[in-house]
Every structure is written in C-alpha cells, then in structure tokens.
Amino acid sequence: MIKKILVAREGKTFYIKDTSKDYHCQFGLIKAKDLKKKDGSIIKTNTKKELIIFTPSFIDSYKRIKRAPQIITRKDAAMIIAETGINKDSKVVDAGAGSGALACFLANICKEVVSYDIRDDFINIVKKNKEFLNLKNLKIKKKNVYEGIDEKNIDLITLDLPEPWKAIEPAKKSLKTGGFLVSYSPTIPQVIDFVNSVNKEKGLIHIKTIELIQREWEIDGRKVRPKTTQTVHTGFLSFIRRI
Ligand code: SAH
C-alpha cells in the first residue's frame, strides 16, 4: 500500500510505501521524520529541493497497480459506470479478471464484485492488486465463466473475454431483471458475433455499442494542440439489458 505521495512543482511524483525509512529520489534524500509531516507540508531534500507531501487517494494508488494482460482503461471503465448507474448497493460479476483493473475500479464504488479468471498467474496478480488497494469487497474466483456464473440477482456483469458470446447464456441466468451486461472487445469481429448472438436471445436487448475516442491536448503558452502521440483506440463497449 502507498502511504504517502511527494509531488514536485513540475509534476514529478514519488510514491512512498515505507514512511519509517529515509527516502532517496532524484532530488536527493528525505529524512523519515519528514515523511510523517501533515498533508500539504513542504519538505526539503538534502539538496534543498521542495516537495509537497500528502496521503494518496484511491486513484493515486490505482494508477500503480500491477498490469499483466491488456487492461480496460479508466475512460472505458468510467463509461460503464455512467451508463449503468451502479453504486454502493450494486452487485457486480466481472470476467476475465486479467490484472483486475476493471474489477478494482468497480469494487471502489460497488457493494461487491466477483471476478472470474481461469489462469492462476493472473489470479495472483489480481490478489496482489486487491491487497495493494485494500479492497475487501472484491472476490476472485477461478472458474471458466462460459460454464456458468454462481452468483444470482446481479446488477451488472462485465465481460472482457476472447469469445464473449459464450458467456451470454450464463450472464442471462445470473442478471436480475433490469440488470446490465457490458462487453468490452478490442476488435469488431468480436462485437459482431457478440451482438448478433444477443439479438437472438429473448430477454436481452442490445442498447448500443460505442467506441470512446479521447484526445489529450498539449497546452504550453499559445502552442495548443492535440498531443502528437497517444493511444486513440482501446476497444468497443456493447451495452445489453436484461428485461
Ligand atoms: N478486464 C481485465 C483484463 C482482462 S484480460 C482488466 O481490466 O484487467 C482477459 C482475461 O480473461 C485473461 O486474464 C484470461 O485468462 C481470462 N479468460 C479468458 N477466457 C476465460 C474464461 N472462459 N473464463 C474466465 N476468464 C477467462
């Protein structure tokens, strides 16, 4: 768990896990006793560089989680929350867990998240991330989601799988009426097969499939323009509702 953050004026950030030891960074040494100072304090390194200290919020720690497979980005995760309205009362099932990036992001605001994966190596990464973020309401399950979902009366099921259409039947049985199924896929052939399979199912309606393009801008005096290199495409989100 990250205990404290040190920020330099030019934006450079340092993450401190152990406040009982002196900390070394590119600006020099910070004494352990200074790491105990209250949030907002200015701390000087031995080279007289000034840094501001404060306690991290969820998002500061979240940005430092371990990543193994491709994760769902925050812009896509945020849209899942915006479209489904899930909150502190919601029960969520997520598959596959991967690094647990989406599962952790949702667990931060939901009542309970159960995340499925079939690979031990990824499950171990999710367990580490869960502990790192101190998320008590995230359960990790080793199970092939195509073979069934144990939880019932679920508000939201999120899928990030190579063959999401194979999870439609289990998802339908596990969602409550009015609950949402959201599938994230990086490629269009996956979207085609998923949505066409959904459309054959009574009790499920395809609301929409979207792609979120986010362009970050550089602002430096009058040099104002989109950053020249950035990730544009991440994936497609298909929103389905159980009726
Ligand atoms: N959404 C995740 C990334 C998922 S990567 C994140 O944000 O971190 C896709 C994951 O699906 C992989 O870890 C893979 O092992 C898992 N997976 C593939 N098939 C599966 C299945 N049938 N049941 C459960 N998990 C599966």
pLDDT in tens, 104-148: 999 999 999 999 999 999 999 999 999 999 999 999 999 999 999
69 in the same domain as 37: no
pLDDT in tens, 85-107: 999 999 999 999 999 999 999 99
Residue 32: which CATH number?
3.10.330.20
Q: Are residues 115 and 235 in the same domain?
A: yes
4 Cα–ligand 1 center, Å:
32
Helix, strand counts (H, E) of the chain? 6, 15
Whether residue 129 is found in the same domain as residue 195: yes
The answer on 104 and 41 residing in a single domain is no
10 & 110 share domain: no
Q: How far is the CA of 25 from the centre of ligand 1 (A)?
A: 36
Q: Which residue matches tokens 């998923």? A: 194
Q: Respond yes or no on whether the N-terminal peptide bond of residue 96 is cis (omega within 30° of 0).
A: yes
For the stretch 157-203, pLDDT in tens is 999 999 999 999 999 999 999 999 999 999 999 999 999 999 999 99
Distance CA 27, CA 43 (A): 12
Pull the structure tokens for residue 211.
């792609």
- Exposure class string for 152-177: b at 16+ Cβ within 10 A, else e: eebbbbbbbbeebbbbbebbbebbee
Q: Under 8 Å CB-to-CB from 76, ≥6 apart: which residues?
A: 184, 212, 234, 235, 237
Which pLDDT score is estimated for 34? 94
| Pair (215, 136) in one structural domain | yes
Q: Are residues 19 and 131 in the same domain?
A: no
> 182 and 115: one domain?
yes
Is the alpha carbon torsion for 208, 233, 144, 82 positive or negative?
negative
Cα 160 to ligand 1 centroid, rounded to whole Å: 6
Q: What's the chain's average pLDDT?
A: 96
Give, for 183, the enclosing helix (H) or strand (E). Answer: strand 175-185
Q: 219: how many CB neighbours lie within 10 A of its CB?
A: 8
* Residue 101, ligand 1, Cβ within 6 A: yes
Split into its structural domains, the chain has a count of 2
Q: What is the pTM of this model?
A: 0.94
The reply to whether 88 and 178 lie within a common domain is: yes
Residue range of the domain that includes 29:
4-56
Residues 44, 70 within the same domain: no
Token readout for 136 is 């008590």
> Going by CA atoms, what residue is nearest to atom 22 of ligand 1?
144
Distance, in Å, from the CA atom of 152 to the CA atom of 76, rounded to the nearest integer, reads 25
Closest ligand 1 atom, residue 184 Cα: 1
pLDDT band at 212 (very low <50, low <70, confident <90, very high): very high
| Distance from residue 54's CA to the centre of ligand 1 (Å) | 35
Confidence band, pLDDT 50/70/90 cuts, at residue 231: confident
